[in-house]
Structure formats: structure tokens, C-alpha cells
Structure 1
Amino acid sequence: MGVVKAAVADFVMTFIAIFCVSTIGVLTYIIGSAFGIAPGLASLSITIVIVFLLFLMLSVIAEALGGAAFNPAGTAAFYAAGVGNDSLFSVAARFPAQVLILA
């Protein structure tokens, strides 16, 4: 995958991840209210299931985008460990695309 295409895919993936993660609390409240579950341990289990399904969905989307990533720390760590085929130039292009959404 080209460097620019990877950076754009990372930007899109980070935007999708941040948007979806911001809805976890609301989804927990809606599901808990629908089933009459009081806040507490049961509500925590609803949140855990939502997070699991969210990251499952995000991994499918990331693969569809050609291996996009949404975590800048992961990109830096995988490069430092020598995992993957990213060069310093491609990491330098992908990292700002991921951080731009977070700022």
C-alpha cells in the first residue's frame, strides 16, 4: 500500500474509532434502560460487551482499508519492534494522520 493511501486510511480509521468510542456510555445507558438494569456490575458487563463488539467491528474495517491503524502508539511500537514492513518514512507519514484527529 502506498504511503499516502496508508496515511489517508489511518486518518479515516482513527476518525471512525474516535466517533464510535464516544458513544459507548450512551449505548450502555440505552441498553441498560431498555432491560431495566441498574448501574453497577451488570452495567459494566454491558460496556464490556459493547467494547468487544466495537473492536471486532473496527478490526474488520481496518482490514478492509488495507491494514489501517487507529492507535499512534501501536504504529510507533510496531515500527520500533521491527514488526511489519513500514519504513521510517511511512511511519512519519502515518503518525500525523492518526494524531490529527486526536488533537
Structure 2
Amino acid sequence: MKMGVVKAVVADFVMTFIAIFCVSTIGVLTYIIRSAFGIAPGLASLSITILIVFLLFLMLSVIAEALGGAAFNPAATAAFYAAGVGKDSLFSVAARFPAQDK
């Protein structure tokens, strides 16, 4: 295996771990923010959740770029390969899939 593929696989694994950990805290964060501001469940609570998701994916995209273009979604990796976008070969895409599996 080339060293670039190994780096990509490790970066994808780290990115997937960070994404799953952060996404699992969205409900708790919504509850904490809602309780701190005294907001009742409903549309305002949904707005808080949407804001948290937006900020989370913004943060994840910055982290992914810092990791050299890591990804946490195997569907995105397959779509970019099929469209011919990026430098991945079929071998590197196949190697990255297990690291991105949730």
C-alpha cells in the first residue's frame, strides 16, 4: 500500500470517530441550551438543533481539510470517485471504505 493511501485511511477513521462522537451529543446540547435559556420544546428548540448541526458540520469540514481531505461518508467518497473528482484510485477508495463505515 502506498503511504498516501494509509494516511487517507487513518484520516478517514479519525474523521469518522470525531463525527460520530459529535453527532451523538446533539440532543444533549440542544437540551442544555434550551434549559439554560428557558426555551420550551417546539420550533425554537428545533432551531437550536439546526444551529448546532450547522456549526458541527462547519467545524467538521475545517477538521477534514486539516486532515488532508478526510471524509466520514463513504457515499461521498464513491460519488466523487464516480464523477472523477479528486485523486483517488479505485484501490484507495476501496481501502478508505472500511474506515468510513459507521
Residue 93 of structure 1: CA displacement? 0.6
Residue 25 of structure 1: CA displacement? 0.3
- Matched residues in 1 for 2:64 and 2:43: separation? 31
Unmatched runs of 5 consecutive residues or more in structure 1 = 99-103
The answer for the alignment partner of 1:101 in structure 2 is none
Residue 83 of structure 1: CA displacement? 1.1
- Matched residues in 2 for 1:20 and 1:92: separation? 26
| CA-to-aligned-CA distance 1:64-83 (integer Å, 9 cap, x gap) | 10000010111111111111
| CA-to-aligned-CA distance 1:75-98 (integer Å, 9 cap, x gap) | 111111111111001101111111
- Matched residues in 1 for 2:90 and 2:83: separation? 12
- Matched residues in 2 for 1:17 and 1:37: separation? 27
Residue 21 of structure 1: CA displacement? 0.2
- Matched residues in 1 for 2:4 and 2:21: separation? 26
Moved over 2 A (4+): none
Q: Bigger CA drift: 18-27 or 74-83? A: 74-83
- Matched residues in 2 for 1:32 and 1:42: separation? 8
Unmatched runs of 5 consecutive residues or more in structure 2 = none
- Matched residues in 2 for 1:70 and 1:97: separation? 8
- Matched residues in 2 for 1:30 and 1:43: separation? 11
TM-score by length of 2: 0.94
Report % sequence identity.
95
